[in-house]
């Protein structure tokens, strides 16, 4: 036991020496001047963890440089720094310190870090920021008061959005939630963007799953902080969205067979679940851009029936919007997923719809 204690103390001393030698100050993730958006576990407040894309960390900091401390191999993040063009950085398996910027003017800077990918395999952690020695965070950023939650599948995750139809396989380097319809719409509407999404997931049946349904569909995982059917339960009081957008059904209707009645019932149950958590939210059921014909018609009918059921129970705040199906004119991402231009069109269709039902200007 004494040997392990000595090793632990030595590790702490080594870490402290590193910070001192390199002339940086570590501001831990638990610092009260950070502002967070998204489903994040704070069981370890100095290393909050998350799995969903679109998680955001906001901060104001002073100094000429900034580095991010992460769990090594956390993956890709998008950086918004002052008025610079947003850019991507990566937390690789070799290094837990990621350079964000250096050579800045020694003033106060605005920083937003967005997790760009699905983190189920990486199990990412944010551990704080390294600033110039002696520098600190500024005032905690004020977040938009409007909140939109987006529940979806690979489309909402930004699967292959930076790729091409000719890609031979999936790469996390081609996934980027930052450019998705929900991120674009939220920035346009000046709203917080909360994302609960996973590629391949359905509302009763996952991609090419069992006819009678799969365990691990969105209804199963939705109660939990991180993706999965167990672990820490999400505290819904931490986020009360004004609008909830549900973009599910594409995977439910994949081959070889699906059951329209089970699909309808799943939407009914999920609307009831959402309403139990969010009594005042506007709920919008979306159809994605990747289906057409009978699949689209069956999905539309399931949503219409679920909305009628909600209305019969006195809930008239459930709506529906069809995104224009992709026809190739705007290009495709990996495996025919929506391209950046397709996502832009989706955002342009969603924004006026949300304005109409909320009265937002």
Strands (E), the chain: 24-28, 35-37, 56-63, 66-70, 75-81, 87-91, 97-101, 107-115, 126-132, 146-152, 191-197, 243-247, 282-287, 318-322
The yes-or-no verdict on residue 3 having pLDDT over 80 is no
Answer whether 287's CB lies under 8 Å from 323's CB: yes
Q: Could you report the per-residue pLDDT of 181-219, keeping only the tens digit for each?
A: 999 999 999 999 999 999 999 999 999 999 999 999 999
pLDDT of residue 114: 99
pLDDT of residue 23: 85
Answer whether 184's CB lies under 8 Å from 347's CB: yes
The yes-or-no verdict on residue 356 having pLDDT over 50 is yes
pLDDT of residue 357: 98
Answer whether 19's CB lies under 8 Å from 69's CB: no
Query: How does the average pLDDT of the chain come out, rounded?
Result: 94
Q: Could you report the per-residue pLDDT of 55-110, keeping only the tens digit for each?
A: 999 999 999 999 999 999 999 999 999 999 999 999 999 999 999 999 999 999 99
- Phi then psi for 283, rounded to 5 degrees? -110, 130
Average pLDDT of the residues in 31-60 = 98
Residue 39 CB: number of other CB atoms within 10 A? Answer: 23
Answer whether 144's CB lies under 8 Å from 191's CB: yes
Across the strands, what pairs with 196?
A: 151
Residue 46 CB: number of other CB atoms within 10 A? Answer: 15
pLDDT of residue 314: 98
Q: Could you report the per-residue pLDDT of 278-288, keeping only the tens digit for each?
A: 999 999 999 99
Which domains can be identified in the chain, with CATH numbers? 24-132 (2.60.120.260), 146-358 (3.40.50.1110)
The yes-or-no verdict on residue 250 having pLDDT over 50 is yes
Answer whether 249's CB lies under 8 Å from 287's CB: yes
Answer whether 41's CB lies under 8 Å from 71's CB: no
Nearest Cα neighbor of 230 from 103, 83, 106, 51 is: 51
- CA distance linking residue 43 with residue 210, whole number of Å: 35
Q: Residue 68 has which token pair?
A: 């991010």
pLDDT of residue 2: 42
Q: DSSP secondary structure string, 8-28?
A: HHHHHHHHHHHHHHTTEEEEE
* CA-to-CA dists, residue 194 to 115, 116, 238, 242, angstroms: 12, 13, 11, 11
- State the Cα angle at 97 between 96 and 102, rounded to 5°: 165
pLDDT of residue 112: 99
Residue 100 CB: number of other CB atoms within 10 A? Answer: 20
Counting residues of the chain whose pLDDT is more than 90, the rounded percentage is 93
Q: Are strands 146-152 and 191-197 parallel, antiparallel or unpaired?
A: parallel
- CA distance linking residue 118 with residue 205, whole number of Å: 20
pLDDT of residue 10: 36
Q: Could you report the per-residue pLDDT of 277-332, keeping only the tens digit for each?
A: 999 999 999 999 999 999 999 999 999 999 999 999 999 999 999 999 999 999 99
pLDDT of residue 17: 31
Residue 145 CB: number of other CB atoms within 10 A? Answer: 9
The yes-or-no verdict on residue 239 having pLDDT over 90 is yes
């Amino acid at each position: 036991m004494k040997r392990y204690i000595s090793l632990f103390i030595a590790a702490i001393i080594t870490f402290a020496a590193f910070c001192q030698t390199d002339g940086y100050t570590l501001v831990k993730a638990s610092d009260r001047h950070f502002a967070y958006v998204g489903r994040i576990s704070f069981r370890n407040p100095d290393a909050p963890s998350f799995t969903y894309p679109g998680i955001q960390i906001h901060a104001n900091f002073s100094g000429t440089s900034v580095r991010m401390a992460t769990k090594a191999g956390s993956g890709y993040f998008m950086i918004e720094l002052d008025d610079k063009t947003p850019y991507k950085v990566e937390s690789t398996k070799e290094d837990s310190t990621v350079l964000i910027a250096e050579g800045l003017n020694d003033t106060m800077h605005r920083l937003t870090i967005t997790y760009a990918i699905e983190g189920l395999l990486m199990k990412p952690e944010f551990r704080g920021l390294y600033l110039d020695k002696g520098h600190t965070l500024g005032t905690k950023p004020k977040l938009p008061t409007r909140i939109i939650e987006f529940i979806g599948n690979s489309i909402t995750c930004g699967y292959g959005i930076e790729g091409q139809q000719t890609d031979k396989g999936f790469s996390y380097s081609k996934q980027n939630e930052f450019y998705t319809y929900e991120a674009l719409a939220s920035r346009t509407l000046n709203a917080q963007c909360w994302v609960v999404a996973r590629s391949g997931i359905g509302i009763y049946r996952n991609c090419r799953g069992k006819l009678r349904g799969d365990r691990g569909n969105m209804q199963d995982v939705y109660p939990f902080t991180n993706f999965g059917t167990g672990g820490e339960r999400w505290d819904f009081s931490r986020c009360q969205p004004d609008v909830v957008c549900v973009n599910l059904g594409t995977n439910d209707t994949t081959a070889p067979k699906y059951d329209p009645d089970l699909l309808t019932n799943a939407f009914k149950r999920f609307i009831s679940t959402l309403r139990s958590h969010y009594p005042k939210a506007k709920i919008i059921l979306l159809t994605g851009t990747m289906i057409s014909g009978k699949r689209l018609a069956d999905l539309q009918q399931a949503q219409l029936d679920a909305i009628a059921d909600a209305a019969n129970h006195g809930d008239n705040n459930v709506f529906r919007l069809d995104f224009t199906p992709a026809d190739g004119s705007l290009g495709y991402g990996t495996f025919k997923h929506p391209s950046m231009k397709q996502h832009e069109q989706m955002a342009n269709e969603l924004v006026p719809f949300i304005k109409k039902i909320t009265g937002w200007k």
